[in-house]
Chains A and B, each alone.
Chain A
Amino acid sequence: DIQMTQSPSSVSASVGDRVTITCRASQGISSWLAWYQQKPGKAPKLLIYAASSLQSGVPSRFSGSGSGTDFTLTISSLQPEDFATYYCQQANSFPPLTFGGGTKVEIK
């Protein structure tokens, strides 16, 4: 199975900050990576697919980049509604589809 490792596991930031989350795959997955946002008690929400394609309706302050084994999710200017946990997910080699362990973005 391909292992997905996210870092950091948590980050404290202020409104307006630029936040970058990293996801590393245990082997190359081309650009077949998605990012999700999950708020407490809610289902995950798709933000980005194919590493850098923004899902319809998602604010443009979210962006994704990377290919191969190293990927990043960037929030250019953190907003109050962005405090949540973020997960990456690989789809290059399955079964199984696998998720990263999550990164919690907390208020500083």
Chain B
Amino acid sequence: QVQLQESGPGLVKPSQTLSLTCTVSGGSISSGDYYWSWIRQPPGKGLEWIGYIYYSGSTYYNPSLKSRVTISVDTSKNQFSLKLSSVTAADTAVYYCARVSEIFGVMYYFDYWGQGTLVTVSS
């Protein structure tokens, strides 16, 4: 059973960089069978896809966040990470990591999720 667990600071100051790590257990990121993604949800609002990464390091980002986002992978630790720069209060959200399955290279969906971690941007 695949499990994902987010970790990182729960409070970040405005203009600084948000950094989170997702540790995967019960499966290997290096298998190459899946992509690995970050999704966020502001309090009381809907879901926003941030981006995903393949074990090789290839990434896809949401264009609305692309200038501020970096997703990286450490296969030796079976982890992938998110960095979001120049944060504002609008970046306050629960951040989820998730595994991405695909069909025929077209249908991408999130089949396993971490429990989520609340990150608050405030001075």
- Residue numbers of A with Cβ under 8 A of B are 1, 30-32, 34, 36, 42-46, 49-50, 55, 87, 89, 91-92, 94-102
A102 and B113 contacting across the interface, CB-CB below 8 Å: no
A50 and B46 contacting across the interface, CB-CB below 8 Å: no
> Top 3 A-B pairs ranked by shortest CB distance?
A43-B113, A34-B109, A96-B62
> Residue B34 at the A interface, CB < 8 A?
no
| Interface-located stretch among B19-27, B74-82, B100-108 | B100-108
A91-B107, A94-B60 as given contacts; A45 in contact with B113, CB under 8 Å? yes
A43-B96, A43-B116, A94-B60 as given contacts; A99 in contact with B106, CB under 8 Å? no
Q: Please report which residues of chain B, range 29-80, place their CB below 8 angstroms from some CB of chain A when the two chains form the complex.
A: 46-49, 51, 60-64
B103 and A44 contacting across the interface, CB-CB below 8 Å: no
Q: Complex: how many Å from CA A43 to CA B64? A: 23
B60 and A91 contacting across the interface, CB-CB below 8 Å: no
Contacts of B62 in A (CB 8 A): 95-97
Most A CB contacts (10 A, CB to CB) among B46, B64, B98, B101 go to B46
Binary per-residue interface labels of chain B (81-117) against chain A in the complex, 1 for a CB within 8 Å, 0 otherwise: 0000000000000001010010100111111011110
